[in-house]
Each structure stands twice: as structure tokens, then as C-alpha cells.
Structure 1
Amino acid sequence: MVRPATRAASFRDLPGWQDDRLDDALLAFSRSLPALSSHTSGWPLFDDLRAHCEAAARLVSTGDVSEATARSFFEARFVPHAVVQDEPHGLLTGYYEPILPGSRRSSAQFPVPLLRRPPDLVTLVDDALRGTAGIGLTHGRQTDDGVAPYPTRQEIEEGALDSLDLAFAYLADPVDAFFLHVQGSGLIEFDDGDRVRVGYDGKNGHPYSSVGRHIISQGGMSAEQATLESIKDWLRADADRGRKAMWENQSYIFFRELGPAAETATLGVRNIPLTAMRSLAVDAGCHELGLPVFVVAPDLDPGALGKGFFRLMMAQDVGSAIRGPERGDVFYGVGDEAGRLAGRTKHPGNYYLLLPRPADLAAA
């Protein structure tokens, strides 16, 4: 792990800190506890982070956490540190969980399969590090002669895995299916009435590349024109052209059913339940998962929150495109409105890492 340089600050230095309501941030932080309890780290502050998360979970379990209590908790147990890098700002984007119609059987209406994890797929690096630059293939295919590269997106869509009978759901639209891969999870409203959440369960190991960036490079639209909806429209306007553009992203995601939508949560890395507007995908090669991060993005207008984004977020997810010390992906929640907000988020931003104080002193 290559941790970024930081500069100690105070909570008074954090723009918008006093205006952020922190009671739901404390709840979001507490949801990292199972992941922090089941993993170890060589980071010297890891045990303190876990101890503070345990304390947060105890507070939340009382069922009565006020905003003032949550604010006192974070200010007593953490010290903000500004990330210092050569560039003046990082980049914030957004992601969400789509709701898509589907079927358990292939048909003319629902021809696009979602595939479960193949039995011969092996994980070569910790999934938490799958977005880290320079790590090569993240997954491979176990063969009698060792581990080989898995088929690419194009090869899979042209039938390379058909003999394994991996399809468990079918969607109507290849563009929606492609962006479900990009988001990593979603809700499927099956034609039999079931509403089921599906989530990430591995990938073919090939590097992710942005279809939007490819379209821009080919002159399909300008960077200023590129939003989630405009990219989808471009891909759908010419099916053959769109399919070839999507094949430029060789990465392919495998899914699993998590259960009925009403009984499950959107899951981030290491099965951390995500919280809309509080969970952040980060580069786990730079930051400890579970760490609170105060995000400052004055130009971001996230709907009902008003102008400017000044929010305490939790590092609870990763993504293949999330690389760098101030590169973040904001989880906006579930459904069309969340997708609209996520799709228009591409703004400069900065991080203040909340580094844990020694747990024995903070609790004293």
C-alpha cells in the first residue's frame, strides 16, 4: 500500500464540517465493523480504527444517537489530515444501484444473460485491490497447466462460456446489462413478481476501461457532452457500433443473487452494507477500508443537499476505475433518481482523512 502524504488539520479547517449532520454518518461507520473484525492490516493505526468502530456500533445499538453525540464521537476519536499531492484536486464520480426488469428464462424480450461465477475462476489478488494500478490480471482461469487468462468481454459474449451453463437471469437491454457490470450490483424485477438483489462475485481479471472515454476518443461526443444518459443513448443508437464500443472494455463481471430486495442491502467490498451519500469507493492501495473521509467538492450540486458537497463519507467500496489518493466514487443509492445524480457527477474534490487517535486515550 502506498499511502498519500497528509498534513494535520483541525475540524475548524474543514469547510462545511459544522453543517453536516453526522448521526447517519455514525451509523454508516458502524457498518464497517464486520469487515474490520475479519481482516487484519499492517497499518499502525488499524487496531485503533477497529476499536473506534466497535465503540460506534455500541452507540448505534442503543437506538438513540443524536447529531451532537455523533459529532462529539468523531471529534474526540479522530484527527483530520488533508491529503497532499501534486495535483490541486482529485476527481469525484458517482455510482448507484439500478432497478432493471428481467426474467429467469431467455426470450426475445429478455435475451441478455447475467452469469454466475464460473467454477474455474481463481482470484489472484485481494478483491479490495482490484482497482489499484499496476497489479496486472486480478483473476484467471485454473487449468491443468496452471492459471491462464480468462476470456475477454467480447469472447464471453460470443459464447466462450456457454458450455458452463452459468446464466441465472436475463435482461432486456445489453446497454443496461453493461452498466450493471460497471455499477457492480442492482435490483432485478423478475417477470414472475420476484424482486431480487444481485451483487459482484468476481470478474474475468482483465483491466477496466471507460466506454465513455473510448467514445470521446473516437469523436463520438465531447467530454462536456458525456453523461451517463448521453453515453447510453449513443450506444443504443447503433447496436453494432455500441456493441463494439462496449467490447473495448475487456473486463466482465460475474454476479450472485444476494436475496430478496426487501431483505438485503447493497454491498460494498468485503460485504460492507452501503449507505447512500455516506459510502465512498476509494483506491484501497492508498487508503484503509473503513476509514472516515471528509470529502470537499464545492462545485458538486447533489440534488436536495444544495450547492456544494461537504460530507463525511466512509471508505467502504472499491472500483476498477478508482485509482489515486483523491479519486472517489460516491454511492448515491438505488433507482432512477440516484442514477441521474450519479451520472452527472464528475467534479474536482479533496479529501480530509480522519485518522484515529489512540483508542485508549480517546476513550479515557
Structure 2
Amino acid sequence: MNLFKKAQPYKKLYVFLNHALAACCVPLERILRTFENPTYPKPKTMNFRLKPAVVFTLLVVLGITFHNFTLPPQPGPAKPSPAPDLPTTMVLNTDRYGKVHNAQLHDDVFAQTDWKELGFPKFDEELEIALKNQLRVLENSKFKDGQKVGNLRVTYGQLKETIEILLQRVKEDPGALSQYLNAYQAWGGDKKGNTYFTGYFTPVMEVSSVPTKKYKYPIYAYPKELAEEGKLPTRAEIDGEGVLKGMGLELAYASNPLDIYIMQLQGSGYVKFVDTGAQKLFRYAGENRHPYRNIQRFFRNRDDISIGNLSLSGINRYLNQFPEMIDSVLFFNPSYTFFTPSTGLVKGAGMVPLMEGISVAADDRYFPLGSVLLAAFPVVENGIVKRHEFKVLLPQDVGGAIRGAGHLDVYCGIGKEGQRKASSLHHYGQVWLLLPKDDTAVALNE
């Protein structure tokens, strides 16, 4: 019986080899029969020498055959399954502004929270760019190694490692976050974990390079010589008494002093010169070091003034209706911000471009420039907080009005749309400072 007739998978191989050996005048069938039955007469041509090409062909084909039919593929080492993704939102029992009901008092500025209670946002390209920028913010910062941050002792290396862990490990497997980082909740402004979120933006306004009947309110550069001599003047002395007039510090002239005030609150702004057509970015250049007082308090302290909306847009409408009140309102705040002309993108104190919804201005005594924050950020619908979504926020700026561990000012963009978003944000959420686990803890989890 022919061996190849016992196994159907070898039929094609039989035909191929038979044709290959036919060139030597030795049918494969006769050779196989010889090995099956020793009594079968050997062919007269058995003392032939196989051609090298035929031998090589036989070896290759037989090698492939045995590999395919006798050596099934071996499975490789099993890869560890990724950790499950963390939730991206959380629902808290809060009031309409996002404050948690019946929250307990915190003993310290920062308290560690178990990751089982937290979540994390989707890691996208925008967040990756922002984190790479944050490395530059950290390099540009004046953070002192081992500096006290609230009740924590934090090193420069820890801040850098946090960013690198997020870029290298968490980007690939967000569920593994708890293996490498700890989350420390800030106690907020009320020491119950409620952090106040506001928004700021980059205004765009028209100015003139020379004073005119319409554009008559100066925007000033920082008075270095005066600062070296002693205390800088207040807002009332600068804008009311004109103590800086004639010192060559005028950068441009605006048509409305409230526009200048808003740009000072935001820290920078784009200006368009109506007389020259030029466009510039006026960046923050310093302050007069007088205490900041929110002009909203001016209205709250006046029983004779009725104003329904205390946002900047509401105050603007009121002052347009009662222009005689503008000096009294603005001079209530003695703090004053100076500018320097620049070009390019808007940058904060960290000297990197601000990114909408990620960059925040913070008090760097608690949230250092270059640190990474996880936030349960308020999602507002019709003025009411419906839920909170997890966001990564990056301290890349500072502000005179941002003080303490309970207030973050979120960058909201440029122009009217940025102003709209910033004006609508005055709600509460929660914030955690992310820091790496100690080396021992990380090693045990790997």
C-alpha cells in the first residue's frame, strides 16, 4: 500500500515529489514500495546519484511539512491584563453650587484619599502636550527642594516624577494610576474639601498709541525707578491723581477704564491699535504690591446701590448706566497691575502657553508651579451643578486675587467666548495634589 494514500494531507506533497524525482527516472512510488516491502524487487536504477537540486528540494519541503504538521505553534508568555479604567465622573450630594452637603472638617491642608473613591479623565493628545509643558513650568519655577506645601514636605524630584509617571505609565494604562501615585485632597476654603473654581480669560480690546478724545485712559508699564525709591502708588493715586503721568510709561490709551481693570484682573490681554493697525500682547509686568480688594464688596457694602448681577459683565452694565460711579468703584481696589508689550501666545507665570480648561492660576504656597492636580470639576447646567467630572489641572499661573488652598482660577480662552465661559464659572468641586508613591511602595506593586 502506498504510504501517501494513508493520509490525505500528503497528496499534494506526493505529486510534487514524484514529479521532482521523475527527472532521475526513479518514480517515487517504486522507492516507497521498496521500503514498505523488502521482497519487492529493487529497481535497476537504484544505484543512481540524486541531483543536488532534487535533494535540496526534498529537504526543504520535508522540513516545512514536519514543522506544519508535527510542531504546533507554542503560545508565548501571557501578558498581564491591564487594570480596569477608572471612572471619569462622580456624583456627589451637593447644593446647586457644587458644595458637598454635611462634609466633615479636615484636620490638615492635605489628606490622602484612596483611589477606590476617585477617577481619572481620558488621556488625550491635549493633556499630553500640557504635561510636557508642565515640565518646562517646573524648570522655570523657583521651587525649593524639600519645600513645605501645606502639611506636606515636597521635593522638586517628586513633582518631576509625577509628570513623568503620567506621561510614561498612565498614558498607556490609566487604570494603573494607583500603583504609582498618591492623591492628597486639599481641604478647600471651608476646610471641608470644597474648592472654589472661577475662570479667567484673555481680553481683546481696541487702543490708541496716542491720547485722543475717545482713547484717553493710559495703560502703564512697570515704574522700575519709582519702585527702587520706595512704595508704589495706589490705584487712586495712579488713575485719579495722575502721579505716573509724564514719566514715559504709557504703553497705549483705552476708551474705558473698566476695560483696563478687566485686563489687569486677567493678567494679560491682546490690544489692537486703531491708529496704526498693529496688534500686540500686553503681558503681566508686576504689581504695586498693595492689597487686592474685590470691587464686588463695594456693592455688597452699599445699601443704597441695587445691582442684580455682580459678575464683571453685570458691573460693566451698571457703570455704563452710571458712569459717575466708575472712579469710586475702581478705586475701592488699591491694587494695580502693570504691563509689558510682547508677541506670541498668552503665557502665565510659568512662561508656557496657557491651555483652555487645563491651565490654572493658583496660590503656589499650596499648589506649586509645576505640580499636577486632579479635580472633581463642576459640570453646570442652567446655572446648577449636576455632577462633577474628573480633570487634570496644571498650576501654570498666579494671581493677586487667588489666595489659599481653596481657590483655583481656570483659564477659559480668548475674547468674548473666553469671557462668557469665565463669567459662568463660580462653582465648587474638589482637588487632589498628585505625588509619587515612595520607591519601596512602587517596587512592591510592580
In 2, are the aligned partners of 1:184 and 1:200 still within 8 Å (CA)? yes
Structure 1 residue 216: deviation in Å?
A: 2.2
Could you report, residue by residue, the CA deviation over 1:228-258 in whole angstroms, capped at 9, with x for unpaired residues? 2101111222222122110111111110112
Structure 2 residue 179 is matched with structure 1 residue 179: no
Could you report, residue by residue, the CA deviation over 1:40-95 in whole angstroms, capped at 9, with x for unpaired residues? 413333212124546778x7xxxxx9x95384796665322222363341211110
Structure 2 residue 310 is matched with structure 1 residue 205: no
Structure 1 residue 333: deviation in Å?
A: 1.1
Higher RCO, Cα 8 Å, sep 6+: 1
Could you report, residue by residue, the CA deviation over 1:24-50 in whole angstroms, capped at 9, with x for unpaired residues? 223212213233224341333321212
Structure 2 residue 147 is matched with structure 1 residue 50: no
In 2, are the aligned partners of 1:97 and 1:333 still within 8 Å (CA)? yes
| Aligned-partner SS, 2:233 | coil
Could you report, residue by residue, the CA deviation over 1:179-199 in whole angstroms, capped at 9, with x for unpaired residues? 111111011122222221111
Larger mean CA deviation between 24-33 and 165-174 belongs to 24-33
Structure with the larger strand share? 1
In 2, are the aligned partners of 1:94 and 1:341 still within 8 Å (CA)? yes
Structure 1 residue 319: deviation in Å?
A: 1.2
TM-score normalised to the size of structure 1? 0.79
- Give the match for residue 184 of structure 2: 81
Amino acid at match of 2:251: F
| Aligned-partner SS, 2:242 | coil
- Give the match for residue 137 of structure 1: none
Tell me the distance in 2 between the aligned counterparts of 1:309 and 1:227: 25
Amino acid at match of 1:249: N
Structure 1 residue 273: deviation in Å?
A: 2.4
Which segments of 5 or more consecutive residues in structure 2 lack a partner in the other structure?
Answer: 1-106, 148-153
Tell me the distance in 2 between the aligned counterparts of 1:302 and 1:183: 25
In 1, are the aligned partners of 2:360 and 2:409 still within 8 Å (CA)? yes
- Give the match for residue 170 of structure 1: 253
Out of 272, 275, 281, the position equivalent to 2:361 is: 281
- Give the match for residue 110 of structure 2: 6
Out of 179, 189, 196, the position equivalent to 1:91 is: 196
- Give the match for residue 236 of structure 2: 154
Tell me the distance in 2 between the aligned counterparts of 1:209 and 1:265: 29
- Give the match for residue 44 of structure 2: none
Structure 1 residue 323: deviation in Å?
A: 1.4
Structure 2 residue 217 is matched with structure 1 residue 112: yes
Tell me the distance in 2 between the aligned counterparts of 1:232 and 1:26: 38
Does the C-alpha gap of structure 1 residues 255 and 241 become closer, same or farther in structure 2, counting only changes over 3 Å?
same
- Give the match for residue 132 of structure 1: none
Tell me the distance in 1 between the aligned counterparts of 2:299 and 2:259: 17
| Aligned-partner SS, 2:299 | helix
- Two-structure CA RMSD over aligned residues (Å): 3.1
Does the C-alpha gap of structure 1 residues 359 and 266 become closer, same or farther in structure 2, counting only changes over 3 Å?
farther
Does the C-alpha gap of structure 1 residues 12 and 21 become closer, same or farther in structure 2, counting only changes over 3 Å?
farther
TM-score normalised to the size of structure 2? 0.65
Does the C-alpha gap of structure 1 residues 355 and 18 become closer, same or farther in structure 2, counting only changes over 3 Å?
closer
Does the C-alpha gap of structure 1 residues 338 and 167 become closer, same or farther in structure 2, counting only changes over 3 Å?
same
In 1, are the aligned partners of 2:370 and 2:395 still within 8 Å (CA)? yes
| Structure number with larger C-alpha Rg | 2
Tell me the distance in 2 between the aligned counterparts of 1:273 and 1:310: 22
- Give the match for residue 338 of structure 1: 418
